[in-house]
Amino acid sequence: MYALSAPGALDELLATAGMTPRSDETIGATTVFTDAAAAVEAFLSAGATELAVRYSGQSTVATALHDALTPFTGEGDQVSLPGWFRVVQAR
């Protein structure tokens, strides 16, 4: 998704910069929304969805988002999206 997400990309960048990793960790971070409507609103406000909205219209994108969130929707319509971050300290 991002240029540095590809395997080895960050390591190569650090080596090119003459840096050596001191620590390299993956940290889990779950994003929780009170309900599907709040999650859809959050995604619609993100810049990454702007092109989809322009191309297909907000209603179509909102429906697609709602459908895509269904597997992550639990009790009380709460949406939990698992995620992770890679944190590297280097010098």
pLDDT in tens, 39-58: 999 999 988 899 999 999 99
Examine residue 12 and state whether it is found in any structural domain, yes or no. Answer: no
Examine residue 51 and state whether it is found in any structural domain, yes or no. Answer: yes
Examine residue 38 and state whether it is found in any structural domain, yes or no. Answer: yes
Domain of residue 30 covers: 17-90
Q: What is the mean pLDDT of the chain?
A: 93
Torsion of CA 7, 11, 16, 18, to 10 degrees: 180
Examine residue 75 and state whether it is found in any structural domain, yes or no. Answer: yes
Examine residue 35 and state whether it is found in any structural domain, yes or no. Answer: yes
Domain count, the chain: 1
pLDDT at 33 over 80: yes
Examine residue 3 and state whether it is found in any structural domain, yes or no. Answer: no
E-strand stretches of the chain: 21-28, 31-33, 79-81, 84-90
Examine residue 22 and state whether it is found in any structural domain, yes or no. Answer: yes
Examine residue 66 and state whether it is found in any structural domain, yes or no. Answer: yes
